[in-house]
Amino acid sequence: MKHQRSAASAFLLASLLVGGCAKNTTSSTSTASATASAVQAKEMVSVTQSSPPQVTEGEFTYVADQFADLRILRYRVPGFEELTTQQKELLYYLYEAALSGRDIIYDQNYKHNLRIRRTLDALVANKRDRSTSPDWEKLMEYTKRVWFSNGIHHHYSTNKLVPEFSQAFLAESIKKVPARQLPLQPGESVEAFINWITPLLFDPTIAPKRVNQAAGQDLIATSANNYYEGVTQKEVEDFYAKKSNKKDLTPVSHGLNSKVVKENGQLVEKVWKVGGMYDAAIKRIVFWLEKAIPVAENDQQRLALQKLAQYYRTGDLKVFDEYNIAWVNDVNSKTDVVNGFIEVYGDPLGIKAAYESVVSFRDEEATKRIKAIGDQAQWFEDNSPLLPQHKKKNVVGITAKVITTVVEAGDAAPSTPIGINLPNANWIRKEHGSKSVNLGNIVHAYNESANTGGSALSEFAFSPEEIDRAKKYGSLASDLHTDMHEVIGHASGQINPGVGTPKETLKSYASTIEEGRADLVALYYVMDPKLVQIGVMPSLEAGKAEYDGYIRNGLMTQLSRLAPGEHLEEAHMRNRQMVAGWVYEKGQKDKVIEKVTRDGKTYFRINDYQKLRTLFGQLLRETQRITSEGDYNAAKNLVETYGVKVDPALHKEVLQRYSKLNIAPYAGFIQPKLSPVVKDGKVVDVLITYPANFTQQMLEYGEVYNLLPNYN
């Protein structure tokens, strides 16, 4: 489960959110294999360059680019140079494994994404004299948006990105590219290719939504993702219902790593594994994992990596569970990796998981804060407002830490989480525990980048006191919210015996309810004196800062991310409005939260923080009850009533006020680059550098990690 940075949860984030040439391959497997061989060969190349110069904080540029609604940032990896040679070598292999899956997320997001991306790569690599025309600037902007979103649908809203350059310019540009560099199908002419790709890009009615969550529609038929083909929502639900066994206390995550298609009238799964779907990329991932195994830090980490490689080779979900258990038990290694088909936000039914990877090492000093919360997990569970039967009697194995991210890939890049809690299987979490992490250097980069641009805090906060509180405590409050969301939020509560998993019982509403539940745990406890007692928070004023930011964001500022007329469909956005809208309504009689209009502008002012905490506790109890009992109707009613519809007048006002700030509402990252120093066939060091050009990195990735055919 991921925790994403909210649009205005803290002052330091407010102004951020509103706080060579690439070769092109054909669809042949032989081309992908040739590229893979090049990747394999490069590990033996001797690197003679000297270490990169040490960049001080004042010299490092965090903001690299801004276009459309996006800001491109950079992050540092402090402490990398102090790692042992073995640890660096391990991280390098995990880095390569992570990036080797890049093609997978494109294909998962939309069937034609790889062919489209390769076309755009070829156009940019052959730009010639077009670089000065307005159409070329619009084509570059569109291309960077596609790179950022891992496909032609917006990474957050999942709406189709429609180009602003002309169709004629696209055709003219394609004709100037050598045909061998275009992703043509066998026997296809350039003219036929242009006729194929033009409506695919420009027609807004073709694949308009990657993930459709609109109630009353067939969510499979109306979603453009590539997890299903030729099947209906009912067929999929019936297919997996037959696999479900509510008496199984250790169920596998059926459907997590496969595409469902219809063959000879029957639904079948195309499993993502070696020898199956995504074979070439997965083979490359396994290759690097097997290089990593001998240099693992200890036997437990070695076992986890072995299980992960075995899972990729076999596609066996029981092995995936064995891997997760081994990974959770690896608590002593300084280095770590998340790699696999993990999160299900991209599937409207919450079954299929997107490829992602996060490679990291532990930040020892920063971990003390989050560990202090994890060490008190049982106290938080015992003192929560949950119904007694929904509380865990024995909270086990929560490993909490702050990590320094080395590289992110797949669904975790360029847009990244700031907190992660895994594994997602409820029975593993209950019996074996979980790992909760805060991506410390990513959060730091967000905070540093927020020092540029206009101030959304000044624009949307009600009073000078609220602004001052956010400036003083907002960053810490936001970190604490993330810590508790991951550490004690996702790990809290239990499902009643005989009740299926949330994806089975709550279906399309499972992700929103789960993210809301975890947020509510954090919100309930961020105003608890316990945090002051254990030394992670100086006073309850920090809790008030978090309440201010959460309500301001949930009821108003996150609307800056939507186009006029849109409703909320992304799970995190739905959850935040659902939580904020529910407590606002329930507290109206006592004016717990008051809507104020001043000088023609709307503000939300909290009048009673303790009563608001009580309301958060009441909603936490209800969302846990819904989860524990599998109450689909209650989940649907809660989400549809409070989390979906947008007030058009308020939305228009928010967009107008934000337009004056010149702040992109979304941000993502250029990744650091690792280069091995090889002497006599042995890695003797690994150098880290910090690329500053987003386009250059995307073209390089398109060259080196171009492993899959156009269609899979």
Query: What one-character DSSP code corresponds to residue 333?
Result: -
State both tokens at 415.
Answer: 């847009």
Render pLDDT for 559-599 as a digit per residue (tens, 0 to 9).
998 989 999 989 999 999 999 999 999 999 999 999 999 99
Determine the Cα–Cα distance for residues 41 and 30; give it in Å rounded to an integer.
Answer: 16
Element (H, E) at 674: strand 673-679
Distance CA(366)–CA(363), nearest Å, equals 6
3-state secondary structure 696-707: HHHHHHHHHCCC
What is the pLDDT averaged over residues 59-64? Answer: 90
φ and ψ at residue 390, rounded to 5 degrees: -100, 0
Strands 419-422, 258-263: pairing is unpaired
Indicate the pTM of the whole model: 0.83
According to the model, what pLDDT value does residue 486 have?
87
Q: State yes or no: pLDDT of 314 exceeds 90.
A: yes
Q: What is the pLDDT of residue 661?
A: 87
Identify the three-state secondary structure at position 189. Answer: coil
Average pLDDT over residues 242-249: 90
Share of the chain above pLDDT 70, in %: 91
Q: Which helix (H) or strand (E) holds 419?
A: strand 419-422
Share of the chain above pLDDT 90, in %: 82
CB atoms within 10 A of CB 346: 22
394 burial (CB, 10 Å; 0-12 / 13-18 / 19+) is exposed
Mean pLDDT over all residues of the chain?
90
DSSP at 185: P
Alpha-carbon dihedral sign for residues 400, 403, 409, 411 = positive
pLDDT value at position 161?
98
Nearest CA to 664 among 155, 61, 313? Answer: 155
